[in-house]
Structure 1
């Protein structure tokens, strides 16, 4: 019996070694709602360079994605649009605390910002954030409770109002509250909001990432929609991370890291730029410079004191967002 136990242990070690010697060739990337097209293209290019590999996608609001991972979604990597949702995974023990040091540019391979898309001819003459608070303007953007995309919109509008009203918080909150009141329906995610604006023809303007506004205009026709870049907006980084708890379980760490590294390569950056994202690679950025209008971008750190402070003061239960959003 003792010899059988020893043999069984040896076989277990052997097969364990074989499992790690032959790591899985599949990855799951949990991403944000409006990133379907860009990652379909990124995945195709990555797979071409890594024959036999399969990359599956999951798309939803990033807060929903983060909760799904904690509840059992075995995503090897996340490509989110908000730092706080990765920090949530850190607190739950799924991602290492120093994840932003694992990849360049604070683990953000490309970036964007909240921008506007209006109907052809811009019939309501919407030019800047002020216009969104007018009584005759109906706005479409997703629910800031479930969408990182929408939280950026909320923060960008707040940042604009802070400048406009010289930090008068009562006026700032009144301005943002009026914008909320002008939203006829709050969808759960960015892609659903696009459907509401484009296919259901609700609203005069949709606020979403610049990359999405460019994608909508390209898909449905510049004769139907036109982009409007406001005078100022908020830098929206798209943070990425390896989900340590999952890759250690699956033995997929090396492949997961290679995948995220690819997003920083010249090829990966060019794909992102082709899909309307602003990139950090200087050569690629210069190549696409004429396609991206100049804009002044402010940051969460400069305006709000960082994501930790934003989470406590704006997004925590009972904080400013709850106060302004009410029971909608």
Structure 2
């Protein structure tokens, strides 16, 4: 649980690797929604690398939504070439329910197919007027939270697990206190958006909440 507090592994699984029928190649990268800006920058570098390596030009299209929602879209027929999700369960299900990737997908790429880790972050209002410093500040009566919905977002699940990890460290084996902390924590959430991008929009543009919880720093 402490490891979940520190960060998360982003799983990457190649869904198909069909040979190009022409000089140019097109790929659809189906990813979780907060990674949009990351790939907008990374794709340019990959396109240069691919052309230098193969002589081919490649056009990369992006599809972004909550990680679990994207996995369901692929199972239901979305023709993805690459999936970059933020939790292994959303990749495992591509094998379990669709046989779209091999069971040993994590062994196909370096670092167990986890190209990077990120950490939990609290985004607060300018000058941090409510002096938010740690998880225990998030359950105060005067604090309102915004986070993605754990039912639809890997971001939301990791946020919940990170809160659980904090409670276990703070309260040890006292299950009653752990349960109360989690109940108070979820009770302070003003909006559960379907994904990290929606949660960021709610906090930044709509001005709702005192703290945005996200795993992208």
Counterpart selection for 1:119 from 121, 125, 132: 125
Instruction: Give the alignment of 1:1-328 within 5 angstroms.
Output: 20=19, 22=21, 25-51=25-51, 52-92=57-97, 93-211=99-217
| Structure 2 CA distance for aligned equivalents of residues 21 and 191 of structure 1 | 33
Query: Can you give the 5+ residue segments of structure 2 that lack an aligned partner in the other structure?
Result: 1-17, 52-56
| Structure 1 CA distance for aligned equivalents of residues 58 and 76 of structure 2 | 26
Report the CA distance shift for 1:74/1:103 in structure 2 as closer, same or farther (over 3 A). same
CA shift at 1:98, angstroms?
0.6
Q: Which one has a larger percent helix, Structure 1 or Structure 2?
A: 1
Q: Which residue of 2 aligns with 1:15?
A: none
| Structure 1 CA distance for aligned equivalents of residues 46 and 106 of structure 2 | 22
Deviations 1:236-255 (CA, angstroms, capped at 9, x unpaired): xxxxxxxxxxxxxxxxxxxx
Describe the SS at the equivalent of 1:72: coil
CA shift at 1:50, angstroms?
2.8
TM-score, length-normalised on structure 1? 0.57
CA shift at 1:22, angstroms?
2.8
Higher-Rg member (1/2): 1
Equivalenced residues, count: 193
CA shift at 1:151, angstroms?
0.4
1:116 touches 1:210 (CA, 8 Å); kept in 2? no
| Structure 2 CA distance for aligned equivalents of residues 180 and 120 of structure 1 | 24
| Structure 2 CA distance for aligned equivalents of residues 68 and 111 of structure 1 | 25
Moved segments of 4+, more than 3 Å: none
| Structure 2 CA distance for aligned equivalents of residues 21 and 164 of structure 1 | 54
CA shift at 1:32, angstroms?
0.6
Provide the aligned C-alpha RMSD in A: 1.5
Report the CA distance shift for 1:53/1:136 in structure 2 as closer, same or farther (over 3 A). same
CA shift at 1:20, angstroms?
4.9
Report the CA distance shift for 1:165/1:20 in structure 2 as closer, same or farther (over 3 A). closer
Describe the SS at the equivalent of 1:57: strand
Describe the SS at the equivalent of 2:192: coil
Describe the SS at the equivalent of 2:193: coil
| Structure 2 CA distance for aligned equivalents of residues 170 and 95 of structure 1 | 41
